[in-house]
Structure 1
């Protein structure tokens, strides 16, 4: 009986070591925020990050929490707004808007649910509330939470946040 138990313990230990090794390898191969946005086909957000010259920042060590608007969220902006923001002469305004979507540190959905507001990298505050069972960041609904990245976390939102 003890030999059988010892054999099972060895198998269990081996499986644990293999699964832990796999989890660690997977974590180290996780994509950063920019590569995650590219892979998820957040084309407008990626174009804006490039135009705002913030790629290197969002590929940096972090950690960051990004509230990432969908392409549809950008499409909902008033006509001509996005095109205007992407012009080189409006880079500072674009950067301010993009930085308003970023919070320093890694704030998961569970942690977001416990706060009322968060200070953005832009310097402004976003409000956080639960409305009808959905987490709202200002007037934007979180449609997908906790997309883990090697340098932070992304929460997908359905509207573009505009600083006051």
Structure 2
């Protein structure tokens, strides 16, 4: 009988090949799917070596078996690996920047935040003029309300200004406020909390004993138990809220001219 050329040791073919009988005593070796070679020697096909394995150019191709691979989008991209789309950090929540800032994508997973014109800050916290900032801060919003009600616009100009703003809770609870409004003197009281021609930070105030308010009367400044006190009564409890045209300090009492 004819000799089976594939009968022993896979006919001398590679372990990754199929031995096929042709004519009696002869055979051919054919590499199995996923392998390439002459049948005697068969090597795994790495699909990642050609056209990145069919993955997107912004994806990583990883071989997981003979002629098998998976595609994973690179950092900064999203998709199924076959198609990868750049992730813009600025598209969601302005990239974490302030609502008053411009977000710019710079490189993968990176962006810059720059305050818009007429705002100051680091891009994550951008501040407008002090009149705008009064409204945005709950600690000072009641002072803003009274300015708006009386159409006082002194601090909307270029400044610089320094404001000593009674905390919202104080303005809401002090019974004298209603009396001042009824008597038509509330505007004078408010202007007594404003200083023009200077943007004075907390450290600047420590070197001053008196400053003149927009109302015209002096405000006395002193240091008591490591705190700055105005007119021996109102303590600065929050300081140095800097805007484009001045600075705001929050105090715990109303100053009375």
State TM-score, norm by structure 1.
0.75
Name the CA distance, whole Å, in 2 between partners of 1:31 and 1:24.
9
Q: Which residue pairs with 1:8 in the alignment? A: none
Which residues of 2 match residues 72-91 of structure 1 at below 5 A? 72-77=169-174, 79=175, 81-87=176-182, 90=184
- Say if 2:159 is the partner of 1:62: yes
Equivalent residue for 1:50, pick from 140, 148, 155: 148
Name the CA distance, whole Å, in 1 between partners of 2:206 and 2:144.
27
The runs of 5 or more residues in structure 2 that have no matched partner are 1-110
CA contact (8 A) 1:146 1:155 kept: yes
- Say if 2:216 is the partner of 1:100: no
Structure 1's 130 and 24: CA in aligned 2 closer, same or farther, altered over 3 A?
farther
Secondary structure (helix, strand or coil) at the match of 1:86 reads: helix
Cα deviation for residue 47 of structure 1 reads: 1.7
Choose between structure 1 and 2: higher strand proportion.
Answer: 2
Cα deviation for residue 45 of structure 1 reads: 0.8
The runs of 5 or more residues in structure 1 that have no matched partner are 1-17
Secondary structure (helix, strand or coil) at the match of 1:129 reads: strand
Name the CA distance, whole Å, in 2 between partners of 1:107 and 1:43.
21
Name the CA distance, whole Å, in 1 between partners of 2:242 and 2:251.
15
Choose between structure 1 and 2: higher helix proportion.
Answer: 1
Cα deviation for residue 24 of structure 1 reads: 8.8
Which residues of 2 match residues 72-151 of structure 1 at below 5 A? 72-77=169-174, 79=175, 81-87=176-182, 90=184, 93-104=185-196, 105-138=198-231, 139-151=233-245
Name the CA distance, whole Å, in 2 between partners of 1:136 and 1:65.
15
Structure 1's 75 and 24: CA in aligned 2 closer, same or farther, altered over 3 A?
closer
Q: CA RMSD in A?
A: 2.3
Query: RCO (CA 8 Å, sep 6+): is it higher in 1 or 2?
Result: 1
Name the CA distance, whole Å, in 2 between partners of 1:86 and 1:122.
16
Cα deviation for residue 102 of structure 1 reads: 0.7
Name the CA distance, whole Å, in 2 between partners of 1:22 and 1:134.
35
Cα deviation for residue 146 of structure 1 reads: 0.6
Name the CA distance, whole Å, in 2 between partners of 1:46 and 1:23.
23
Aligned length: 139
